Amino acid sequence: MSHTVSTQRRWPRVLAVTITVLALVAGFVGLQLYRKLTSNTVVAYFTATNALYAGDIVQIMGVPVGSIDKIEPAGDQMKVTFHYANKYKVPEDASAVILNPTLVASRVIQLAPAYTGGPTLGDGAVIPVERTQVPVEWDDLRKEVTNLVEELGPQEGKPDDMGPVGDVIDSLADGLAGKGQQINKTLTNLSTALTALNEGRGDFFAVVRSLALFVNALHQSDQQFVALNNNLAQFTTNLSNSDRELADAIEQVDRLLPTLRGFLDENTEVLTHDVQNLYNVTTTLVQPEPLDGFETSLHVYPSLQGNLNGIYHPVNGAIVQVPVVTNFANPMAFICSAIQAGSRLGYQESAELCAQYLGPILDAMKFNFPPFGMNLFSSAATLPKMVAYSEERLRPPPGYKDTTVPGIFSPDTIWSHRNSEPGWIVAPGMQGVEVQGYTANLLTPESLAELMGGPNIEPPTGGQTMTGPPNAYDQHNPLPPPWYPQPGPLPAPGPEVTPGMPPAQVQVPSPMTGIDPGDGVQRGPLPGETP
């Protein structure tokens, strides 16, 4: 009975302890879960973590955002695990720095820089030792300062050696000894200069502002300066490339000056008289009335020249305008008004007498157009580009023109007006056509071979030398005058050229290439050919 009672009394205690333990476990699990959901855990590696402990603050820009969870060694580095609230964003490449706010305060970890955009540092991220920093220890700093002072100060056991700093001070004292008055004067002059600068600060700042405007104008015109620089570079390049020509030109001018001086000495009076006459003419021209007439003529001349140029139409070979004498539509008014204007006294009576005696004659001379025709020029009514050919092969190649026989072309030069210049050629597909002896004498051998059944010739393209008899005209440019730079000798032939070897033939494509006489088109004598 007593055992049952004791069991019943113990049961509530066990239940209370169990509930308490479960509540603690649930609270711990809930706390960890809450921290997991609301914070990010990060691992950072430092070279040292002196005076840094678990629970110390983690901050961003001085604001606490988390704390350190644990610190443990990892080889020659220290592994620090900390967490911070995930509502604060940290850049993905952030650095971790151990700060020591004061000598006695606990140290903190600072995450930098502040987030401005881009990827963020996530949960479980690792910050390597390359992105972590530790503060300099006070003992190390004191030791380094002590070593520096010892190195700069006097050396132990050497009373005459004052050290680098002492030597500098001693040298400075020796250099300034006896120069106090000079230093005083220098400082006084410097004070005077600064005072003058202070009094003229308005002008000084005006100069600075003007200089700023000038620099701004230069900046806005940078493209123009770049273009000017490029033009100057091109100009100097051209001068450097033509220095020989420039030297020759200067030498020629030097040779010309004595001749010019002698000419001026011999013709001084004549030149003076001519210049005086020119002065008189120009002085007359600049007077108001002649100047007005000269300006009027310059204003009217372009229109007059254009009208004269438009009278003749070369395409149609005719004059397309007719001269008109407007005053002869009423000659009596024209002539009598001229007589009236020229009469000084009795001008009204002069006009009446003119109308009375000359009126019947002048009325019979009324006309709007001259009573004669005029066509002084005659030329071809069509241009070559206006001619349409039944076959494209019959079109003359560049440098040639049509003859009376279609398909036979003569050279088109200034001497070929009568078609008597040798070098005639034929069009492709002219095999079997018979020509007269005169025409055969003017044809090239290749063209005669084609007429006798040979292959089509390849007529020269525009710009080539036309076929003709030997020495028909000189194909070489004349040498310049003796006072002009003479051309140098021709360059020596290359090693691949054998003396006496003819030059290589260059095949030039012809506009007639590709027309085969055996393409199915019936060839034979063309209209206009006289056997």
Q: Is 133 exposed, middle or buried (0-12, 13-18, 19+ CB in 10 A)?
A: middle
Choose between 236 and 417: higher pLDDT.
Answer: 236
Domain residue ranges in the chain: 22-138, 314-381, 384-451
Q: What pLDDT sits at residue 471?
A: 40
pLDDT tens-digit map of 388-398 = 888 988 989 88
Q: How much is the pTM?
A: 0.32
Please say whether the beta carbons of 451 and 523 come within 8 A: no
pLDDT tens-digit map of 309-323 = 777 766 666 666 666
How far, in Å, CA of 456 to CA of 450, rounded?
6
Q: Which residue has the tokens 């025709």?
A: 373
- Mean pLDDT, the chain, as a whole number? 79
pLDDT tens-digit map of 140-170 = 888 888 888 777 777 766 666 667 777 778 7
| Residue 197 in tokens | 């600068």
Please say whether the beta carbons of 429 and 393 come within 8 A: yes
Instruction: Provide the β-strand partners of residue 40.
Output: 84
What are the Cα distances from residue 122, in Å, to 40, 59, 88, 271? Answer: 7, 16, 11, 99
Query: What do you get for the CA distance between the two ends of the chain, in Å?
Result: 162
pLDDT band at 232 (very low <50, low <70, confident <90, very high): confident
Is the pLDDT at 425 greater than 90, yes or no?
A: yes
| Residue 38 in tokens | 């609301």
Is the pLDDT at 300 greater than 50, yes or no?
A: yes
Mean pLDDT over 172-185 rounds to 83
pLDDT band at 381 (very low <50, low <70, confident <90, very high): low
Does the N-terminal peptide bond of residue 113 adopt cis geometry, omega within 30 degrees of 0?
yes
DSSP 50: T
Mean pLDDT over 73-89 rounds to 92
Choose between 460 and 509: higher pLDDT.
Answer: 460
User: For residue 68, which phi and psi values (nearest 5 degrees)?
Assistant: -85, 135
Q: What pLDDT sits at residue 108?
A: 93
Please say whether the beta carbons of 123 and 86 come within 8 A: yes
Q: What pLDDT sits at residue 467?
A: 46
Q: What pLDDT sits at residue 526?
A: 43
